[in-house]
């Protein structure tokens, strides 16, 4: 599994590092929930579109926490094989 936050240079190869990066994004930087819509699946790829809404509570990439509610557009492209996700590339 490879998790790469596109445009940020942050890459987490392997499940343990991917899990740590997701935890950092979902619980340290943002207290947010994702709302998904418009999934597209075909062949060895899938794309999900939605948004993340919640409070910006932690510093990330030099941007200090503003402790306000934010909504971020979210797109995630996946490489898949059978029932496995090989790579996830979120675009925030």
Question: pLDDT tens string for the chain (92 positions)?
Answer: 666 666 677 776 666 665 666 666 666 777 777 888 888 888 899 998 988 888 888 887 787 888 888 888 888 888 899 888 888 888 76
pLDDT value of position 25:
66
Domain that holds residue 14: 2-72
Beta pairing partners, 52: 34, 72
User: Is 80 among the domain residues?
Assistant: no
**Tell me, what's the pLDDT at 64?**
86
**Is residue 77 one of the residues assigned to a domain?**
no
Which residue do the tokens 């925030």 mark? 92
Is residue 33 one of the residues assigned to a domain? Answer: yes
In a domain? residue 87: no
Assigned domain for 35 exists: yes
How many domains is the chain built from? 1
Predicted confidence at residue 12, as pLDDT, reads 67
Taking the model in full, what pTM does it have?
0.66
Q: Indicate the pairing of strand 84-91 with strand 2-5.
A: parallel
Instruction: In whole angstroms, give the CA distance from residue 41 to residue 53.
Output: 24
Within a domain: 47: yes
pLDDT at 53: 85
């Amino acid at each position: 599994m490879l998790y790469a936050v596109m445009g940020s240079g942050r890459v987490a190869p392997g499940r343990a590092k991917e899990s740590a990066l997701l935890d950092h994004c979902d619980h340290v930087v943002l207290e947010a929930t994702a709302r998904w819509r418009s999934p597209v699946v075909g062949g060895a790829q899938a794309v999900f579109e939605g948004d993340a809404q919640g409070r910006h509570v932690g510093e990330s990439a030099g941007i200090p926490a503003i402790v306000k509610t934010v909504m971020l557009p979210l797109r995630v492209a996946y490489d898949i094989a059978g029932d496995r996700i090989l790579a996830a590339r979120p675009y925030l």
